[in-house]
Structure 1
């Protein structure tokens, strides 16, 4: 059989950029200072970030010249990409490492001055306002270069210099490649992968909340920026005029992220999607201010988020919340924050990923859920099947949808089924957006469907004789579901029982260890 010859035609943009990224990663694998994708992706990201900033600066400088207006560079010479990185035979080896990391060094123009990272950390927005200089300073506030070989780093820089961020096709293509890198980062992160939400779930949440241009969208725990990037794409389709574009770029999307690594990744993700100056605050949103101090100016139209759950917040953060609503459970604190930050009088709506525990727990959880039902319209609970967030957690998850047209009269449930012939999802076989098509079709009509049911809100709250909330259970099973015969072999069923018992034993050991630590 004759062999098929490989095509020798010109590369497409996607092929060329894919080749650049793959080559850069291959080079980084040779460096002894980098250990896996958790080191390699952040390094590639800050290199891409600086090239992106320089290309955007060139565009804005040309636009200012055409308009006869002054131009103020975010990064001054000799620290611009074009000054130290663009020449293939430019600064390299130990000199390059020193230029990046030293407090003071010999700069590419021969003068003495701060090293690159030290300079970038010192940038401040002009006239007291937030601008790109503040974003750059925050990105590089604690940045370190882990690459040991300045020669290998020069090779990576030379590859990245061939990317043209002033070409829309290249930006669009690279944004897709970058999303692939983020998925790989999630896979490599293990327990640190909590900042990832499956793309299908993100797309669905954005589609049904339907943000409109002129509204403000918030993700207070934005991770790598998946919700904000999807919301940006959704809003971009509504842009018709120059004024619309200014609204989209300047006052549509805001986020918060507690951890520095996902903060960096989110900046690059949003830049590649076309948001020129992402408005993301680095820090724990729960610690920013007391709940009672959040007023109308702090409120937004739409909140889309998957807040961290299973974590514990310190006492200092809990004091930001009402005394009878304090808990160390992160998910419950975020839920209270989200409720407080929604615009009132029907102008606010939210979609929030929550674990099953939030639905059935009592105590503080019951009081928070009672607030949700009495002060907001909790109109929909989407019950996701097992394994949607696998392999990072086996905890069953849900998406709750509510708005400020409340109080709640009825809660509508939709039980998303597993595809026929499938037992669970995995990272190699995740939930697909198309599988949620029936739920999308049902969303507006709320018609009869065996996967859907409705429960009056008054049936969900149980109080004592004095009217105090005792329990609120939203963890309801589908009353239309029929018992399904288990066709698994007895050995397989037994194996599942043993595995569940082992998980219980592991949890008990963890609890015993925590009790011993606090004793």
Structure 2
């Protein structure tokens, strides 16, 4: 770009931190004329397309270049048609319903009212540095914009904890049945790259219900140089997987109420025929049983679940928990801090499932017929001056260190010199299956780690429980309001 054009456009080369406020402002203005989610999809798509066009510039390509787009939008008062045509060429085409509309189904219609803001957005993106970081920033905002339907992406701190807890390896077959932006699959590959100098090429499979989200996943995978098999849009819970996986990573929507829309559940389904059918009004255990069934012999899984899955007293939930514990599939349950997902305030737990807890499995100690509980409710920190929270890096390391020494494989850089596992009141406790049976198969970590009579721990847990219940009621009220508005619109 010439100095004259740079002065005329009024933008300079900026880092992602410098660009972010301008991108936010423009996305908000575009969103006021479309909607917030479509606005952030356009932003993400343009950042990705600029990166993809740059990566492709040395090859012979019939697709328009990024410079083609900037030249057209600088000269022509109408911007939307150029943007839509450009993105239609650069976005993956697999989900296009009609060849004559190749790719356009993934790009919202762009009215003339957004032309001025689109032009400014292209100028800002054109002068941005660190496209990978900018893409991740925009993905977080896209996740926030579509989170009201339970369709959000996994923050990087939580993804790191989940991946390191299951230790994926290069030869593993890895599945995410609710892959969203493919962040967990990408983190699995980044983890392997950090631990080897070899070119890692695990077998990655991602599934998701929404075509638009799979489009985002493909962009994210491309930007990280990761290859994965993304299935066409599908309901993962509709049927069991046909193959076994060594590692399953999943952050499914919490407490999804309409997971069996056909109104029927087959008692002979191999996922729950051994236990009992999951409740139609709550998909939590449908996901857990689906994932357990997908594990190969020796396979392990990391799954995020709302707290209710660990201690709900409903008969079906308790029976399934009893079956999972009796079959020795549950390896560890970690109580995470509330507020890690800004749009889902209810507290949640990380469940680790493992089909081989023997010394020949992931660890060096026989942990058959035992379950580890970790209470990490306080392991969070505020992000700057924002209202957002994340897992404290020291808290992540402490969780992983505790899990490692319990398994008998201490981490290379432990927080403290500990040769053997020991229960820590208020933090961790290892329970036998008989102890869990005596306690009614309640798997909520604070109920195991807090000592009896610990008034401080009990009061803190009660506050968390009440806060979670309150936010759950808020979410139910929002859902009810949306249904009422739809009903009124139809009158």
TM-score normalised according to structure 1 size: 0.67
Preserved contact between residue 45 and residue 91 of structure 2 (Cα < 8 Å): no
Once the two structures are superposed, what CA deviation does each residue of 1:392-450 show, in whole Å capped at 9, x if it has no partner? 2332211111212169501111111426999xx99434332222332222222232222
Kindly state the Cα deviation for residue 118 of structure 1 after the two structures are TM-superposed.
6.8
Where does the alignment leave 5 or more consecutive residues of structure 2 unmatched? 1-11, 359-367, 407-420
Matched, 1:143 2:107: yes
Which is worse superposed, 183-192 or 27-36? 27-36
- Closer/same/farther in 2, CA of residues 317 and 119 from structure 1, 3 Å limit: farther
Aligned position for 2:309? 358
Report how many residues are paired: 427
Distance 1:26 1:52 in 2: 22
Distance 2:471 2:120 in 1: 49
Once the two structures are superposed, what CA deviation does each residue of 1:31-63 show, in whole Å capped at 9, x if it has no partner? 58645643332111222233333333335x38x
Aligned position for 1:405? 356
Distance 2:188 2:120 in 1: 36
Aligned position for 1:8? none
What secondary structure, in the 3-state scheme, does the structure 1 residue paired with 2:304 have?
A: strand
What secondary structure, in the 3-state scheme, does the structure 2 residue paired with 1:435 have?
A: helix
Matched, 1:302 2:262: no
Aligned position for 2:233? 283
Aligned position for 1:452? 428
Preserved contact between residue 195 and residue 222 of structure 1 (Cα < 8 Å): no
Aligned position for 1:337? 290
- Closer/same/farther in 2, CA of residues 190 and 117 from structure 1, 3 Å limit: closer
Kindly state the Cα deviation for residue 349 of structure 1 after the two structures are TM-superposed.
0.9
Preserved contact between residue 44 and residue 135 of structure 2 (Cα < 8 Å): no
Kindly state the Cα deviation for residue 223 of structure 1 after the two structures are TM-superposed.
2.1
**Alignment match of 2:448 (pick from 478, 490, 493):** 478
What secondary structure, in the 3-state scheme, does the structure 2 residue paired with 1:400 have?
A: strand
Distance 2:470 2:28 in 1: 41
Matched, 1:430 2:390: yes
What secondary structure, in the 3-state scheme, does the structure 2 residue paired with 1:303 have?
A: strand
Aligned position for 1:274? 225
- Closer/same/farther in 2, CA of residues 365 and 140 from structure 1, 3 Å limit: farther
Aligned position for 1:394? 345
Distance 1:498 1:420 in 2: 16
Aligned position for 1:156? 121
Q: Residues 49-128 of structure 1: matches in 2 within 5 Å?
A: 49-59=48-58, 61=59, 77=62, 79-81=63-65, 84-85=68-69, 87=71, 92-94=76-78, 96-98=79-81, 123=93
- Closer/same/farther in 2, CA of residues 500 and 41 from structure 1, 3 Å limit: closer
Which is worse superposed, 147-156 or 404-413? 147-156
Kindly state the Cα deviation for residue 27 of structure 1 after the two structures are TM-superposed.
4.7
What secondary structure, in the 3-state scheme, does the structure 2 residue paired with 1:85 have?
A: helix
Distance 1:144 1:394 in 2: 31
Where does the alignment leave 5 or more consecutive residues of structure 1 unmatched? 1-12, 63-72, 102-114, 126-131, 164-169, 464-470
Preserved contact between residue 385 and residue 418 of structure 1 (Cα < 8 Å): yes
Distance 2:245 2:476 in 1: 39
Kindly state the Cα deviation for residue 354 of structure 1 after the two structures are TM-superposed.
1.2
Matched, 1:223 2:180: yes
- Closer/same/farther in 2, CA of residues 371 and 254 from structure 1, 3 Å limit: same
- Closer/same/farther in 2, CA of residues 272 and 18 from structure 1, 3 Å limit: farther
- Closer/same/farther in 2, CA of residues 281 and 151 from structure 1, 3 Å limit: same
- Closer/same/farther in 2, CA of residues 441 and 14 from structure 1, 3 Å limit: farther
Distance 2:171 2:434 in 1: 35
Once the two structures are superposed, what CA deviation does each residue of 1:141-162 show, in whole Å capped at 9, x if it has no partner? 4421335344543443354445
Which is worse superposed, 450-459 or 149-158? 149-158
Aligned position for 2:374? 414
- Closer/same/farther in 2, CA of residues 479 and 120 from structure 1, 3 Å limit: closer
Aligned position for 1:39? 38
Distance 1:161 1:262 in 2: 25
Distance 1:89 1:174 in 2: 20
What secondary structure, in the 3-state scheme, does the structure 2 residue paired with 1:411 have?
A: strand
Kindly state the Cα deviation for residue 484 of structure 1 after the two structures are TM-superposed.
3.5
Distance 1:158 1:15 in 2: 11
Kindly state the Cα deviation for residue 338 of structure 1 after the two structures are TM-superposed.
0.8
Distance 1:506 1:29 in 2: 24
Distance 1:506 1:47 in 2: 32
Kindly state the Cα deviation for residue 228 of structure 1 after the two structures are TM-superposed.
2.1
Matched, 1:384 2:336: yes
Distance 1:208 1:499 in 2: 25
Aligned position for 1:166? none
**Alignment match of 1:182 (pick from 115, 119, 139):** 139
Distance 2:303 2:179 in 1: 12
Structure whose alpha-carbon radius of gyration is higher: 1
